[in-house]
Amino acid sequence: MRHHVYFSPGMFGFGRLGSYNYFAHVERELVARFAAAGHELVVHVIQDLPTASIRRRATRLAETVSQTSGAEPVHLLGHSTGGLDARLVASPATTSIPQALLGWIPRLRTITTMNTPHFGTPLASFFTTAHGQQVLAALSVLTVAGLAIGAQPLAATSVLLGFLRGSDTVLPFKVQILDRSVESVIGLVDDARSPEVRTFLAAIEDDQGAMLQLSPEAMDLVAAGFADRPGVIYQSTASMAPSPKPRRWLETVGHPWRAVSLSLFFSLHRITAGHDDSYPCAAMRATLPWSGEANEAVLARAFSGSPPLEANDGVAPLRSQLWGTLIWAGLADHLDVLGHFRDDRDPSTVAPELRHSDWLTSGSDFRHAQFTQLIDAIATGMLDAR
């Protein structure tokens, strides 16, 4: 049987830029597992507006599925904010998406959310500030540079780190430097795919509705408008990055890129760790439509105890990532789970399309073995729902 899966990218992520597919590693592994089970999996990557409102992104997702899925089973997989797009599309209560685009809903089998901030993230609140918008643009283009072309723009990333740590008294000066550093990185990728990169950045500048909606206070209301669709399997993955240890910093000696990248990651990690007791980016267990206790048990097994509320993957708080059945949990950062982790293999022994490129150095030690387990769990849930 042939199935269709639709990948939705999230915060400062992208679908495809030139020949680079943000979901390449997940796509390859899922296709292989469906083939091993005797099924064909047709993959579609949503070319989303990176930081647009959840409603706008969900409408684009619905439109793409309606035009391409034929009469065959459908699976939705969203990373980060992309998971919210999938949930809104499927929500029985939604009236914001034209019904003409939802004729395929009876064929929807599963929704997989990977590290999705279902209950918001403090990082979104930071990104809505004036200097936070600058950081968001810089992080986005640096992600393109780090993943799509394998570049390590050390100078630009160092400036960004200083900006994150800077005080308000030097903010105007820092903003000017950051603007120039972003332009230098754009220049770095211009030779490869200038129009696409600039269009990507323009979309971030023009519409940051998702950042407003993903703040913990706003998601308290947004989540109340979502409902699970009966008959659809909801499954999630969740991860946290470890707190910095002296050993991690020693490992970066002689590797300036890793040192700066590690510092940048933990700056983001510290912002994401902050929470308001009134809006803790976690579900009230009594209100969950599924067993919150079962998911807590999965976390306890994965981390040898119950993680604190501050635990996060550098972008989304750990407990904000829980929805439906938690099928995998472990130590990983926000991009590790997509296959963007440090590859210790000799590059000369690995085909270019099979290599893994790490962008944010988190010290999670996420590698091939953990990635295989994660994809196995996702594929099993999808195949069992057929």
d(CA 66, CA 74): 10
User: What is the bridge-based pairing of β-strands 20-21 and 16-17?
Assistant: antiparallel
What is the arithmetic mean of pLDDT over 21-35? 93
Q: Per-residue confidence at 92, pLDDT binned at 50, 70, 90? A: confident
The number of residues making up the chain comes to 386
CATH code of the domain covering residue 224: 3.40.50.1820
User: What is the bridge-based pairing of β-strands 108-114 and 74-79?
Assistant: parallel
Domain that holds residue 188: 129-207
Q: Per-residue confidence at 161, pLDDT binned at 50, 70, 90? A: low
Percentage of the chain surpassing pLDDT 90? 43
pTM (two decimals): 0.84
Residues 180 and 117 in one domain: no
| Tens-digit pLDDT profile for residues 102-155 | 999 999 999 999 999 999 999 888 887 766 666 776 677 667 666 665 555 555
Q: In a 10 Å sphere around its CB, with 0-12 CB exposed, 13-18 middle and 19+ buried, how is residue 199 labelled?
A: exposed
Q: What tokens were used for 69?
A: 């899925």
Residue 12 region by backbone torsions, left for phi larger than 0, else alpha for psi between -120 and 50, else beta: left
Per-residue pLDDT at 27: 95
Residue 28 lies inside a defined structural domain of this protein: yes
Better-scored residue on pLDDT, 318 or 193:
318
Cα end-to-end span (Å), the chain? 9
When divided into structural domains, the chain yields a total of 2
| Tens-digit pLDDT profile for residues 277-314 | 888 888 765 445 555 789 999 999 999 999 999 999 99
What is the arithmetic mean of pLDDT over 234-245? 89
Residues 239 and 327 in one domain: yes
Residues 82 and 187 in one domain: no
Q: Per-residue confidence at 169, pLDDT binned at 50, 70, 90? A: very low
| Concatenated DSSP letters of 96-158 | SS-GGG-TTGGGEEEEEEES--TT--HHHHHHTSHHHHHHHHHHHHHHIIIIIS----HHHHH
Per-residue pLDDT at 290: 52
| Tens-digit pLDDT profile for residues 327-375 | 999 999 999 999 988 877 777 677 766 777 777 778 888 999 999 999 9
Percentage of the chain surpassing pLDDT 70? 69
Residue 258 lies inside a defined structural domain of this protein: no
